[in-house]
Every structure is written in structure tokens, then in C-alpha cells.
Structure 1
């Protein structure tokens, strides 16, 4: 039973608050007294802000390993220092839009685009500098967004001046150049490549940004006025302890001249990474080291498996006891992810040895 417990805010018994993305059907037709009550919405947001601040304080103090912020249009994963190969607090935000990234920049939040960085490095390995100048790439356009338009224009055509033919070639006007850059930035929107990584002290700025970001809460539709869902493996202020739903079935199948008992266990709900590890450890003990599991990942959260350790500092010594996790679970979580943009779909164990598919 302990493996199935998770902590959530807000918690409304008549509503399933996960998932939130593409989940309008789960909310339609349900009672939502806050939808047309501004005072109630403000009260919900006030409590939510306190809970979010509490979670970040626990994370910073080493008392919470990670937590999720799940809104109707994006998901944010905050990880404590020492997890996923990082020596500092990190946060992954996905999916993002150009407008959101620009808003984060305007608030002084520095971030990187891990998948865009990977694509740029891969492009440099396979193409010469001349080919990159001619063809360009999505990653170069994204990186150049912070550059001034006129400066970009001058740099792009400086080689014409060196050849003495700058007056014979018609240059594209600044508007066309800006449209090209804007189109490249917008093409990232809502895609896995739009995931951003925030590190260190900038994660605190991100917390303040989320608290003050009005677009984080739906202004129309069945989720109107409902704060994002906070999920964590440890208690925090204002949280409610919930339990994943589990159902078991015992069937007999013929195996030669005898019958064999097969036990099936179905678990539904927001299964957190530490919960999954605890469940598999329990099954290893109770099923004599042999079992199989099929996993159905919430697709918008699969991108959280991207490896960002190469963009971060080396991991330092961290005491796993404060996180409230078994040592084996912590050792699993502190390793950098190797799944990339994919997620686990099947886990197999035979004679206490794991294999998996993604």
C-alpha cells in the first residue's frame, strides 16, 4: 500500500486532476463552483501558491526529491540537486511556445533547449561551416533570436563587402529576415524539441514566474479557474495523500497437462518514478524474481526523460535519507536518463534480471 501513495494539491474528490493536458472530457459536466466565482478562484490560487512555495522549499532543503506542476497546457518537473546526474536544482518545462519562452526571458529566467542543443551539435559534426552558412538550421535560428536584427543582417552579408560586390547583390530586407527567424522559432511550439531546462537559482525565478503567470490557468473551457495540479512523492503544505487505484485478477491457464496460476495487477493514476521503482522492487520479492509489466505513459511527460546532465554540473554527495526514499530508489533516480524522448513501454524480469522496451 505504501508504494501506491502520492501527495497532491488541489485534491477534489469528484474530479480527477491528472492528466490535465487534453483532458477536457474528464472535466465536462462536473461541478465547478469556482468557474464563475472570482473570489473563489483567488482563494484557490492563494492556497496553490503557498503549496508550490512549500514544495520548492522542501526541494531546496533536500526533503523532497522532485515534484510536478501539471497545467492544462504544459508540465513542469522540478528535480532536487543530485538527481539525474545534476549537482544543482533543475526544472524541465514542456511543451513550450515562443511566447512563453520570450516571457521567461523577460523575467530574467535563463534556460537552455537540450534537444535543440543536441541537434546543433549533430549538425556541426555532419556538415561543414560553409554548408551551415548556406542552408542554416532550426537550431541556429532559435539561438539567433536573441540577436539584434540589424546586426544579424550585417554579419550575414559581410563576405559580400570583402569581395567588393556588396552593391551588385540585392540583400533581403530586414522584414524578411525577421519573418524567417520568427517562423523557425514558432515551428518549435508544442513539439518535444521545445522542452526547456532551467538550472540553479533560476529555478526560483521560475517558481515566481509560475505563480504570477495568468496563462497557467485556463480562462475558458471546463478547466476554467482551476489551478495546476501539484504532484510529489513526499508530503507538503496543503497536500492530500491519495492512493493509486489497483485491481488484481487471478486466472488459470493450461501449461501442458497441468494448470498454471497467473496473477494480473492493474494500477492506474499518476504513477511517479519512485513509485514505479518501489512497485517493481516489491514484485521482484513477491513474484520470485519473475514478472512482466506493460506501461502506458502520459505522452506529454515522456520528454522529461531527456538527458540534461551534460549541460549541468557534476553531481555532488547527497544524503538520500532526507528524501524519504529507499536507498535503491534514490540510486536509480540519481542516474542520468538514457531514454531520450521516449518512455518505457514494457518491463520484463526473469531470474531477478531486468530487460525493457521503450
Structure 2
């Protein structure tokens, strides 16, 4: 049987097949008359009217008319085939070419065969009409049940209505469900959050196939409740999806709450953000402090109090972050526990050589993260390959341009001209003056000015020294121009001393967008103003249930602040949950996002898309 090809050895036949075999055995027994007195023909148990080319119930060799007796031609089962009807463990009988039937390899009944060999073959065949055939069938079925009981698989029970759990060595693919046999479809990963973006945004443009009109024209009661919730740091929980956002008062109140920010100073007739390259917005506006020294001192005094109040709140973990926006640079102060750092961090961008020298003179220790990162990458490249003379010269100039080694480099360059004296031509060749030498040394440092690579990082207790430096720094305020005498703008997500509450401007418009040959209605929501990182995250969290998880956003960043997304190599990395910021007045979900280390580098997010509650983004 093992040599017969085309059979599936792992198929398990249900018990119904066994009953059909017993039924066939009884029908065969009916046409086998007890012919004790018919001589040799009766002794062989063969009928006098054999049928030619009779096929058994399951696929197998045809019976010839010399070796098979029966009352009629049995029709072949049209649903049976070689692939699904044979199992070596369950095949009971094998019909040889001569028509004789015997048990399969796994059901050889040694005791019965030995007993039959001892008896006389002629008398055995005469009395073998029904009993030996059916007895062997029943005994084979018992043997089969004993073999199966020691294993575990899934087969049909005797009543054809229940399943019996048994064990099996080889799993049959035909017994598995279609879902188990079919290849598992790989679903796209669901991203429920986008990276934290520490850059300031000037404009947001949201688009969605669903209407965004719920976000504008709030009722007086909804606006008042939203402002009250912001001041009291109360946050409402919204369901996963909203059927009618316009009728949801909690959603509209939460949206008004997310638009609030705090600013100092506040001049209604002048937009105080952005401040870098914003001379056009100040041109033609009334600036009474420009020529009044007393008024300038008064503004700076109030500004100093507000800045000190903000730093105290930051140190007490009651304010997560705040921005200082001057006409030359922007400073971001982050509380301990944000951005993957366990200490207070301040990022300044862009900077100049003069500002860095002034900070060094005040004893403020700082680092240039992007410069150090570039230097490490060059060192790794030098380790892999041979270092040329030009690269060595560049490294020497970079070292000489360091603020700490300026004097040493100057004496070193004087020695570089000693070879002129040895040749006796020192009087004929004009020696460059000290100013030219100094400019050449500092060429690399000056080249960083006003570039993203000039970003400065201050950590720990040095941030307090930086606050005092900003208060006393005269170059922090423009001495001439349209912004002369105006203190920098302070922006924070929570209230502080001397601050004024402001709200972002939101405007909803329904437009038609061409999709192929048809036009589709698209709803848009435009938000303008100094958009803080926590405000961006809160707004997107509100759009998720309101727009049923389908919207997109175009983000417009304040360019000098994009580099503030760099990762700070802090010695004490954030351990997660070690710093409690629950009382900082910002939504817990936004704080959880801002606690993660930044992964955007020196770039900012430009697009955010949510499809089926899953985020994708571009930078």
C-alpha cells in the first residue's frame, strides 16, 4: 500500500465512511450464498454470474470478472478521488490484482491470519460467506479506534453531529478552516501619534471630506466655558467618534480651550510674532517708545518681571515650556522631563559669534550640538580611511577658531612665519597684520552665524545664569530700526505674571477640489497665530473624533525655530515617569508626547495626514 502513488497519507476519514463500508459488506454478503454443496465453485465463494469492470467505493483498481462476485454493478462515488480517500492508518482492505482482499499494513491482524493458516483452506472458504469478512472489518475498526485514542486531532463522532478532540502527529490541511489555510493578510501598522515638533507654527491649514464648520463661531457660553476650563486646567473626555460635531457642546468648548496662549508684552495695534525679519509689519505703526528712554526702561522692567516669573514656574514644573522671541534670535526653555532630558534645557537659534563670546564671558557653559555631531562624523570617517594633509589643516583651523584657544593660535601663527627669517626675505614680503590673522582663524566660527548649525544648548543650572544674561544684555533690544526699544516677545501655554490672554484665529471655508473628472466638496480650517507645540497636538486630538479619523494638515513653521527639534545628548536620559508634570496646566496627552526625545533633527513637520485613525507625516 505504501508504494501506491497519489494517496494523501494525512487524510482522516470520518466515521460515516466506516458505516458505508459495513453497509457494503452486508450487501456483498447477501450475494455470497452459502454453497457448501457446489463443489469447487462454491468453495471459492465466487458467483456464477460475475460482473466485469466493477470499481469499489473508493478509487482503486478495477475488479475483473474472474475475481469479483456481486449482485449488480456498484456505481463509483463521483466525489471520491485518490487524493482524499486514502489514509494508511485507516485503509481497512486492499484488493489485489487477483481479486483477493487483505488488511492494510497498519491493520495486519497477526492473530487472525495465524489462526486462518492453521485451518483447512477448503473448509475455511466454504464457511467464509459473511463472518470472516465482517469480523475482520469490525476488528479493524476497533484497532483503528485504539490507535486514534492515544493521539489528538479533530474528527467526526459517531452521531455525525459532534466533534471529538483528539491528537494527531501530522496535521491535515483538509481539516483546517479556510481562514487558517488562507494566507494571513498583513495589515498596515496603525500609528496613533506623530513626533513632537518644538518649532513655532505661524499657520495651520486642515482639510477634511467632512465639514469643519463646527470649529468657528462658538456660542458665548461655549467660549466662556472654554476659557474657564483653560484657566482651571480642566480637560473634558470625548468619545472615539462623534456623529454630529456641531451639536456637541463639549467639543466646541474644548476647541476654544486649545486656541488660548499667553503673551507679553501685548500691543493690540502691532503683531509681536514673528520678530525676526519682521520690519515690514512694524513699518508705519506708532512706536512711542522709540524716542522715549523712560518708556523703554519701564517696558524692560515689566518684561524682566515676566521673564523671571516664567522661569520660576518652569523650575517648579508648573509651566512646561516658554519662548523668548527677540529681533535676532529665539530661545526655547523646556522643563525637566521634556524632550528626553531630566534637566532644564534652553535652545538658542540662530546665534552669532558675538553672542557666544558674551555668553562665555558671563560664565555660561553651552554646547553646539550640530557642530559636535559633524565633528564626530568626520572623526569616524578619518578612522576608516587615511587622513590627508588638507583635512589635517582644516581640523587645525577649527581648533584654532575655538574661543578657548584663541590666544594660543595667535602665537602659533607667529611661529609659522619664522621660515621667512631663515630665508632672509622677511623684509621683502609683507607680513599680514594681527587683525587679518585673527579673521582667518575665526573664519570657520563666523561662517556659522545665522545658520541652523549655530544653535546653542544650555543645560541645568546654567539656564538660570542665562536668564540673568538675557535680562542684562543690552543687545537683546534693537537700538535702531522699526523695533527699536521694544522688548522680546514672551510666549507660553499657561498664565504668568504680566501676561495677556490671546486666542488663535480660526476660519472655516468649504471649497471644491477636483478629483479626476469630478469635483469633491472639501472643508478647510485655517488657524493663524503663534501656534505652540501643545496647541498643535490638542487641536489634532480634537479633530480625530470630530472628523472620524480622516483629515490632513499643512504646517507652516517659523524657520529659525525648526532646528529646535534636534536631539540633545543628555548624560541623564529620561527614564519615563520620573518627572511629574501633571500640574503644568497642559493636557496630559500633549505632555506625554512632548516627553519623548525628538526625532526630527533640524527639520520640522510640514504635513500631517490621518487616515482611518492612523497618522502619517512629512518633514
TM-score, normalised to structure 1, is 0.90
Distance 2:494 2:560 in 1: 23
* 1:178-327 map, 5 Å: 178-251=438-511, 261-308=521-568, 310-316=569-575, 317-327=578-588
CA distance in 1, matches of 2:491, 2:571: 25
Q: 1:93 to 1:139 in 2, by over 3 A?
A: farther
Aligned to 1:352: 613
Cα-Cα RMSD: 2.7
Which residue of the partner structure matches residue 395 of structure 2? 136
Cα gap change, 1:137/1:298 in structure 2, threshold over 3 Å: closer, same or farther?
Answer: farther
1:43-65 CA-to-partner distances (Å, cap 9, x unmatched) read: 11000000000000000000001
1:142-167 deviations in Å (ceiling 9; x for gaps): 5x331153368559999xxxxxxxx7
2:345 matches 1:98: no
How many Å apart are 1:85 and its aligned residue? 0.6
Aligned to 2:169: none
SS in 2 for 1:322: coil
- Distance in 1 (alpha carbons) for counterparts of 2:357 and 2:409: 20
Secondary structure of 2:563's counterpart equals helix
Structure 1, residues 180-206: CA drift from partner, whole Å, max 9, x if none?
A: 321121111111111100000000000
CA deviation map 1:32-87 (0-9, x unaligned) = 11111111111110000000000000000000010000011110000000110111
Per-residue CA deviations over 1:322-346 (Å, capped at 9, x if unaligned) read 1112221111101111111111111
On the 8 A contact 1:153/1:174 being kept in 2, the answer is: no
State how far apart, in whole Å, the 1-side matches of 2:487 and 2:571 are.
31
Between stretches 277-286 and 127-136, larger displacement belongs to 127-136
Q: Distance in 2 between matches of 1:93 and 1:256?
A: 47
What TM-score comes out, normalization by structure 2 length? 0.53
The structure-2 alpha-carbon separation of the partners of 1:265 and 1:145, relative to structure 1 and needing over 3 Å to count, comes to: same
Provide the C-alpha distance between the structure 1 equivalents of 2:395 and 2:302, rounded to a whole number of angstroms.
47
Q: C-alpha distance in 2, partners of 1:351/1:102?
A: 52
SS for the counterpart of 1:136 is helix
**Shift of residue 135, structure 1, vs aligned partner:** 3.4
The equivalent of 2:403 in structure 1 is 145
Task: Tell me if 1:111 matches 2:366.
Answer: yes
Out of 111, 124, 144, the position equivalent to 2:379 is 124
Distance 2:531 2:363 in 1: 33
Matched position secondary structure for 2:313: helix
Residue 117 of structure 1 aligns to a residue in which SS? helix
Partner of 2:356: helix, strand, or coil? helix
Asked if the contact 2:399–2:405 (Cα under 8 Å) also holds between the matched residues in 1, the reply is no
Residue pair 1:3, 1:279 contacting (<8 A) in 2 also: yes
On the 8 A contact 2:410/2:438 being kept in 1, the answer is no
Separation in structure 1 between the aligned mates of residue 265 and residue 439 of structure 2, nearest angstrom: 42
Runs of 5+ consecutive residues of structure 1 not aligned to the other structure: 159-166
Structure 1 residue 261: deviation in Å? 4.0
- Structure with larger Rg: 2
Does the C-alpha gap of structure 1 residues 267 and 312 become closer, same or farther in structure 2, counting only changes over 3 Å?
farther
Partner Cα distance (1:212, 1:348) in 2: 45
8 Å contact from structure 1 (residues 150, 174) kept in 2: no
Which residue number corresponds to residue 340 of structure 2? 85
Which residue of the partner structure matches residue 297 of structure 2? 42
Q: Number of residues paired by the alignment? A: 349
**8 Å CA contact retained: 1:110, 1:198:** yes
